[in-house]
A = this chain, B = another copy of it.
């Protein structure tokens, strides 16, 4: 078959396929912008209408996935495409999205969306003290989520289908023993972390919000974030959300008695932002443009926050920024003080405030409990007690009341079940990437002292960013790091962190 013959036989299928992917991408970009604006600009009175508009765009995307014409085009292209090339990867991702859209009835999507909006509202009202008020909404959501998982019919048990939404290919049968072993080894480490309440070494000085925003921009630029094609804004919960190429956005937040929090939040989100800015231009408006999973996403933010940041060399590099921006407020504060204040965090009930050593124990607890909820092995009404017992067992801390317990995160209320494990998966990959970087370029401390962050960024651009979602995350990371899926690098890293703080 000649190329001409192929083109004739395809009869425009390729053009239609690319245009169809473009529409899917444009709808996703619009949803991302609507979400960004909701968190950064929208007045609260716009919330109901905004939820409906976003639901409509999701429904249009669902309808687009189910267009009957596209099936024939996909079939025709599958025969005419190099099975190892990017187009074959696009076709695989397209088939995956279509399969999901086919299996989950639109009525169930809409019902879940309504139940989620309701659960979030109840959570916002009740989260400080009233688990009982929240329980019925959560029960309903878990029932619907299980129904959805069964409809998706992926993997070995319903929870696999939920995982697959965020980390394609991850299996419960693999994660369960993985978390069990990780928990055992981390609990030992956590027991060694200093439990003294942290000091407040920066209190009583002036850290004005406008200056903190300038610092956020300086820190982002320092690690290579391109501010000409990006935006930094403020929001209650920092996040990165980029509507499309050339427009990468993240938020930070400020503490008025501590300048380091903003720096580390910025570094974390800039990690996401650098990834987005490095997505391959040639795959724009295709299904390969973005990252292959949340674990891959999180590997980037954690790499920058925990492996490039949170070390003395990092604070030495940031020190001149803080000094020039904050002036006299920095008098008598050395890079060593900045490092000490951020290196070790005592174990507590809070995931958001957790240090590196305990962070994955918080995730392990959530994984264990949400898996039990989905399997029907744990009733929602028994969740607070199971939470307290687990917290005591894994972290050796007491959680008092709903706010310190299962109400501290919005995830479950937002229907994000199967999402938490991707944080630990990201931590695992971040540690492997850091080891691979040191193998190539020598110790990170020396690398920063030598030339800042350019080498680390170039390494990441080459090994991870430029591939878009050409490869599934696990294969991408295996090639990037030369390592199989394993917690060894993460545990070795956390051993060092715990030893530093012990």
Across-interface contacts of A23 in B (CB, < 8 A): 56, 59-60
Interface residues contributed by chain A, number (CB under 8 Å): 36
Query: Which residues in window 53-100 of A have CB below 8 A to B?
Result: 53, 56-57, 59-60
Q: Is the CB of A52 within 8 A of B26?
A: yes
Q: Which residue of B lies closest to A27 (CB)?
A: B56
Q: Is the CB of B285 within 8 A of A43?
A: no
Closest Cβ of chain B to A122, distance in Å, is 21
CA separation between A228 and B50, bound complex, in Å?
16
CA separation between A52 and B25, bound complex, in Å?
10
Number of copies of this protein chain within its complex: 2
Q: Is the CB of B230 within 8 A of A49?
A: no
Task: Tell me, yes or no, whether A168 is within 8 Å of chain B by CB.
Answer: no
A 201-237 to B, binary, CB cutoff 8 A, 1 in contact else 0: 0000000000000000000000000001111000000
Task: Tell me, yes or no, whether A46 is within 8 Å of chain B by CB.
Answer: yes
Closest Cβ of chain B to A218, distance in Å, is 18
Closest Cβ of chain B to A93, distance in Å, is 19
A 8-52 to B, binary, CB cutoff 8 A, 1 in contact else 0: 000000000000001100110110011001000111111111101
Task: Tell me, yes or no, whether A243 is within 8 Å of chain B by CB.
Answer: yes
Q: Which residue of B lies closest to A233 (CB)?
A: B41
Closest Cβ of chain B to A109, distance in Å, is 15
CA separation between A43 and B57, bound complex, in Å?
24
Additional pairs, 15, CB under 8 Å, beyond known A22-B52, A22-B56, A46-B229: A23-B56, A26-B53, A29-B49, A33-B37, A43-B229, A43-B231, A43-B246, A44-B228, A45-B246, A46-B244, A46-B246, A47-B246, A49-B246, A49-B284, A50-B244
Chain A interface (Cβ < 8 Å from any Cβ of B): 22-23, 26-27, 29-30, 33-34, 37, 41-50, 52-53, 56-57, 59-60, 228-231, 243-247, 284-285
Please list 11 pairs of residues, one from A and one from B, whose beta carbons are closer than 8 Å in the complex, sorted by A's number. Answer: A22-B56, A23-B59, A26-B53, A26-B57, A29-B49, A44-B228, A45-B228, A46-B243, A49-B244, A53-B244, A60-B60
